[in-house]
Amino acid sequence: MASMLPPEIEASARHLVEMLRGEAIKYVAVGGLPDIRLEAAVFVVVTDPANGLPGYEGVWRNALNERVGRILFNSDGSYYAEYDLCVRHPGKPRWFIEAIAAWGRDGVVKAEARLLPFV
C-alpha cells in the first residue's frame, strides 16, 4: 500500500513507476503492458543493512502470487525498481527483455531494459 509511504518518498515512488512504465512501453504494446502501478505494490518497512536506518520495499505480484517486480527506497535517499517483462526484443531478434530497471537519487532517475540472449 503506497499510503504507508512518507509523502516525499511517495512522490519519488510515483516518478520511479512512471519511468518503469515509460521504458516498458518502448517494448510492449499498450494492451500488453503489465500492471505497473504504485497502488499494486505491497510495501513493508525494511532495515538498511549499511546503517540500520529504515527504508521501504514494495513488491508486485501476479495472479499466481509470483513476484514480478520490486521497488526499494534506501535510507540514504537512493531508490531502485524493477519489473519483469520477459518479452522478445522488437529490434534484436536474438535477445529478449527480462525486465525493466530504474534507479536514482534526488529526483534524478535512469531506466533501461535488462537484456538476455536466447540460447
Whether the per-residue pLDDT at 32 is higher than 90: the answer is: no
Per-residue pLDDT of 40-89, as tens digits, reads 999 999 998 889 999 999 999 999 999 999 999 999 999 999 999 988 88
Q: What percent of the chain has pLDDT over 70?
A: 97
pLDDT recorded at residue 3: 63
Q: What is the pLDDT of residue 52?
A: 92
What are the E-state strand segments in 1-119? 42-47, 54-61, 67-73, 78-88, 95-105, 108-117
Distance CA(39)–CA(56), nearest Å, equals 14
Whole-prediction pTM: 0.86
Residue 29 banded pLDDT, cuts 50, 70, 90:
confident
Task: Label the pairing between strands 78-88 and 95-105.
Answer: antiparallel
